[in-house]
Structure 1
Amino acid sequence: MYTIMPWFDYFFTSPMYENGLRFESDKNLANSKTSILILHAKDDKIIPYELGLKLYKGLLEERTSSNASDSVQMETYESDKHYGHKFICEDPGLPNLVDSFIEKSLQRRNIAS
């Protein structure tokens, strides 16, 4: 979407990268010990679904070595729901999903303590 804007990389992407402002979620989350819930719609045109899946698989791989792979969860929303990049919040099942995730995270934390 943004690549059709002339000079976008020159004025925005490159200066951010050169100044250490990078959106490297995989590297930033690799050392995190907290539970992670990834919500991603397949029709997201801002952040491709494949990147969300790659992040999820990378975190699973990282945490499998530390026996914490159950602390990462990904919920995929099919394209026919038309949630795109910003409408997952409208999913009627989201509150229950988040509640369940928090409950499992707290149980996991209590077991680890």
Structure 2
Amino acid sequence: FGESDGYPSEAGIIADSIFLFNYTKNLAGKNYIFIWGHSMGSGIAIAVAMELSMKNMPPAGLILEAPFNNLIDLITQSPYSAAWRWTPWFNVFLKQSISRSGLQFNSDKNIKLITCPILIMHAVDDEIIAISLAKKLRDAALSANRDVTFISFAAERGLLHKNINKASELPLILKVFFHKMNE
């Protein structure tokens, strides 16, 4: 948030990110600019790529690491909400709280409007965001005929939520994805 005006919000972070994208694009000239979002940042990355796509100036590609489909499913399936999920008021309270917060993170809707290639990577043993949410996100994109590559990393590798960057094949995965821009 840093030097931004007002209060932190999803819309404000998206606006700041679009400003940063445009600034970078001006510096980069004709070079490709990709957007990469990890975890909660994937929701912002998707929203930014969607906004840019709607303005006919999408990034060269969108890379999502350990993403989720929407905030309600993320919270509902989180191990941290297990103690309250059984209560009859949990879903109502959750939806009201999200509505009041101004956070949406409707990535499963936004991804359908993205016009650039999308790479989704998720570890099967991710203990923070279940891989099933990344698969729902992938399926939403595929339902809109988006160009999606989905890579899962086996649980035995122990990459969990934030260690995909340690996967030995990551450079090759990225090289293949970046090569799509030259096809």
Q: Shorter-normalised TM-score: what interval?
A: 0.7 to 0.9
By relative contact order (CA 8 Å, sep 6+), the higher-ranking structure is 1
Structure 2: tracts of 5 or more residues without a match: 1-78, 85-89
Partner of 1:62: 144
- In the alignment, which residue of structure 2 is the partner of 1:107? 182
What is the Cα deviation at residue 24 of structure 1? 1.8
Q: Among residues 50, 57, 75, which one is paired with 2:151 in the alignment? A: 75
Question: Which consecutive unaligned segments of at least 5 residues does structure 1 have?
Answer: 64-68, 109-113
1:37 alignment partner, SS class: strand
| Aligned positions of 1:1-113 closer than 5 A | 1-3=79-81, 14-63=96-145, 69=146, 71-104=147-180, 106-108=181-183
Number of residue pairs the alignment of both structures matches: 98
RMSD over aligned Cα, in angstroms? 2.3
Q: Structure 1 14/43 Cα, relative in aligned 2: closer, same or farther at 3 Å?
A: farther
Specify the SS of the correspondent of 1:44: coil
Shift of 1:5: 7.5
Query: Percent of pairs identical after alignment?
Result: 30
